[in-house]
Amino acid sequence: MRRGFILGLIVAAGVGLATVAAQQQQPPLGNIEKLANNLYMIPGQGGNSAVFVAGNGVVLVDTKLANNGPGLLERIKSVTDRPVTMIINTHTHGDHTGSNMAFPASVEIVTHENTKANMEKMPVYQEAANKVGMPDRTFKDRLTLLSGNDSIDLYHFGPAHTNGDAFVVFRNLRVMHAGDAFANAAQPFADVANGGSALQYGDTIGKAAAGITGVDRVITGHNVVRPWADFVTFGEYNRLMAQHARASMKAGKPAEQAMKEFAPGEKFKDYPAVAAGRGGPGGNFTIMYQELSR
Ligand SMILES: [Zn+2]
């Protein structure tokens, strides 16, 4: 009942109003922050954007909510005269792809192949005028962009936040943008409608932690830059959640009880207590139970 009511509300609110609400909930567009030589971050108005000043132009990772093109360009111009030549989207969500269409068609847009498929389903990208914001190039497991000191390695390890999460590694700078696959050190959001998986989340992050080398710092989807070790710990946290979900379901405990009894230990003392979230009163445990029942 409750879910039907909320869905009704969302439909009634309409896409336009929902976008306005999302923009009001989000912090304002932040200042550009230097992370390393030629690498900057712009927080606010959706996901964190990375700005990488390469030899032939600027590579922008994630474009925030709609209508942030001018603000992004103004901040980029404060650090370089070079034009934006490439956009990488870490995943499909509108707070990471929302201003793609503010950039000219000559800008190459790169995403995971499933993210392109997910974006094709978004109403905003079904409008002819916004097709310019659709990906031009995709990858499946791994792709290296540019060369030499400019090399950027893209990786995909399976479903987590969505089924098209890209990990973007600025190889020479030892920095990775993780997008919302690592939005924050907390219970993550697995967007099952876009192929995400709460159950596989920890394994996917574990594969990324084992398969990616040479990274010291991680740009999170919506939070501060964190050391690599925090990314590894986040994978362990999600694996513990999945283990606990399997054991609790086997013991016949409801998802809400599984959530209450989840005690991951001292290592995760800085993590906020797992609470009801987008999975309903059982949080991600409800989503994991649903996945286990398929
Ligand atoms: Zn997202």
- Amino acid letter, residue 226: R
Taking the centre of ligand 1 as the mean of its atom positions, its distance from the CA of residue 67, in whole angstroms, is 18
pLDDT > 90? residue 13: no
Question: What CATH class is the domain 20-236?
Answer: alpha beta
Beta bridge partners of 96: none
Kindly list the domain boundaries of the chain, sorted by start residue.
20-236
241 Cα: distance to centroid of ligand 1 (angstroms): 20
At 21 the pLDDT is 52
Distance 252 CA to ligand 1 centre (A): 32
Instruction: Give the Å distance between the CA of 264 and the centre of ligand 1.
Output: 25
Average pLDDT for residues 216-228, to the nearest whole number? 97
Residue 276's pLDDT is what?
72
Between the CA of 181 and the centroid of ligand 1 the distance, in Å, is 8
Q: How many whole angstroms from 184 Cα to the centroid of ligand 1?
A: 11
> Residues 116-160: pLDDT tens digits?
999 999 999 999 999 999 999 999 999 999 999 999 999 999 999
Cα(163) to ligand 1 centroid in Å equals: 11
Sign of torsion over alpha carbons 205, 209, 212, 216: positive
Query: Ligand 1 center to residue 180 CA distance, Å?
Result: 5
Tokens of 154: 């893209």
Quote the CA–CA distance of 242 and 284 in Å, as a whole number. 9
pLDDT in tens, 261-285: 999 999 999 998 887 777 778 889 9
Contact criterion met (CB below 8 Å) for 232 and 208: no
Distance 81 CA to ligand 1 centre (A): 30
CA 159 / ligand 1 centre spacing (Å) = 13
Instruction: Please tell me the distance between residue 148's alpha carbon and the centre of ligand 1 in angstroms.
Output: 31
CA of 119 to the centre of ligand 1 (A): 12
The arithmetic mean of pLDDT across residues 25-37, rounded, is: 93
Reported as a pLDDT band with limits 50, 70 and 90, residue 37 is very high
> pTM value?
0.91
Are the CB atoms for 234 and 182 separated by under 8 Å? Answer: yes
Contact 182, 227 (CB under 8 A): no
Q: How far is the CA of 103 from the centre of ligand 1 (A)?
A: 21
Q: How far is the CA of 98 from the centre of ligand 1 (A)?
A: 11
Of the candidates 8, 19, 13, the residue with the CA atom closest to the CA atom of residue 66:
19
Single out the residue of 36, 49, 34 nearest to residue 177, CA to CA: 49
Contacts of residue 134, defined as CB under 8 A and 6 or more positions apart, other chains included, come to: 100, 109, 116, 119, 120, 125
Q: List 177's β-bridge partners, or say none.
A: 168, 219
- Ligand 1 centroid distance, CA of 75 (Å): 23
Residue 4, pLDDT above cutoff 60: no
| CA 96–ligand 1 middle distance (angstroms) | 7
pLDDT of residue 12: 36
